[in-house]
Each structure stands twice: as C-alpha cells, then as structure tokens.
Amino acid sequence: MACQARFGVKNASRGRRMERPQTVKGKNMAVEFGDSQGSLSDTLTGMIGSIRGNTITLRELMIEIGEQGFLLLCALLTLPFLIPVSIPGVSTVFGAAIILISLAITLNRMPWLPKRILDREIDTEKLVPTLRKGAALVSKLDRYVRPRLNFLTEGALMNRFNGLMIMAGGVLLMFPLGLIPLSNTLPGIAILLLSLGIIQRDGLMVAGGYLFLVATTVYFAVLGYAAFAAGQGLSHFFVS
C-alpha cells in the first residue's frame, strides 16, 4: 500500500507557507526543497515546547515533527551537540537516525528506521534543556540566513550530494568519542549548517557545512594519529 504524506505546513510564527516534498500515490517520494521564509529557530522552539512527559522516543519526535520535513528533524537532532555537555548514548541514536534520514533524502524515498532506534527512550529532563540551549544558538544565525549561492542548493544532483554530506556528518557523529572535546560538536554544526542551508536556500551555509565536515575529518585524523603514536611510544617503552 502506498504511503501518502502531507508536507505543506504553515509556519505559525510567520504565517508563511513552507514548501515540503510531495508524495504521489503509488510512486516514491521526490525530495525537492522549496524556499522557506520562516524562522527556523521559531519552528524548532515550538517543537521543543511540545515535548511532554518524563521520557520521549525518536518515534514520538518524528510524529511531532512529521509534517515539518526531514531536514528540520536533522536540524533538531543536532541541537544537543551544540553545547559542550553531552548526554550519554544520544549521539549513537541521533547519529543513526540522521544517517537513515539522509539516505532517504539521497535516494528520494520515505525514511525507514529500525524499531530499536525509534523506541529507545530518552530522558526529557536532560534532553529538553539541552535542545533549548541549542535552539537559542540557532536563533543567532537567523539574521544571517538568506538565499544565495543557489548552485549549491538547487537541482536533484545537489540535493543528493548534500544528502550524502549529511550522511557523512551522521557517521562522524556516531564515532565513540563523546568524552573528547568537540568530537560531537563539529559534526553536529556541519549537519545543522547543511540542513539550515538547504531549507533556506543558503548556499553559503551549505558551504560552511562542507567546511565543518572537512574540519571534523582532519580533527579525527589527528586524534587517531596521536593515539597511534602514543600506543607506539608505550610499546617501545615496555619492550625496551
């Protein structure tokens, strides 16, 4: 049975329509992102304010955000990583979700997520304040976001390439380095900039996402080399 979803939603804070992907019955979803003139921070704040209860699952978050679109969900999932304090286990769950959502964007299909990821409970007492702090940081970007460098955000080819870049950020986010400074923050910023840039047709933000992906890769390579060098040094010390 074909899945039929609605993605045209009016932003309550601005009263402007945000264009979302369309689903045609019996066909795969085509991921095309139209211009959005609404404030991303206002949308995120509204969604965060709707979270209720002691725990929440990714399934419940997706139901809440459903009609707002996949990129908004990716942006929401990066918010806990914009501040230094990390919540144990969140990077694995959110990183996996970002990878699968970005894969759906790249392949022009509705996203599929395994039940284990969808139904894992997260403590809202820790999550909501972290999301609010992340949304406050995003609000500072609103004044700088505008359509520009359109060649980085237009066309099916760039949509798929940017989907792959978001996927790469999700992979980097899942690396088990949560206790190391910036190991979650750098890929989180990359995914946020990519998502924000695509939603608002801001190619400069998208380019910033590319830059943070490169910075994350270099940072992880340096950490890997330092760990290897330290291991070699300890090996020589004990052997000699």
Q: What is the pLDDT of residues 65-102, one digit of tens each?
A: 654 467 888 888 888 888 766 666 788 888 888 998 88
DSSP string, the chain: --------EEETTTTEEE---B--TTSPPB-------S-HHHHHHHHHHT--SSEEEHHHHHHHHGGG-HHHHHHHHHGGGSSS---TTHHHHHHHHHHHHHHHHHHTS-----HHHHT-EEEHHHHHHHHHHHHHHHHTTGGG---B-GGGT-SHHHHHHHHHHHHHHHHHHTSS-TTSTTTTHHHHHHHHHHHHHHHHTBHHHHHHHHHHHHHHHHHHHHHHHHHHHHHHHHHHHHH-
Q: What is the pLDDT of residues 123-149, one digit of tens each?
A: 888 788 878 877 787 777 777 888 899
Question: pTM for this one?
Answer: 0.68
Residue 119 has pLDDT above 70, yes or no: yes
Work out the mean pLDDT of the chain and round it to a whole number.
75
pLDDT value of residue 33: 44
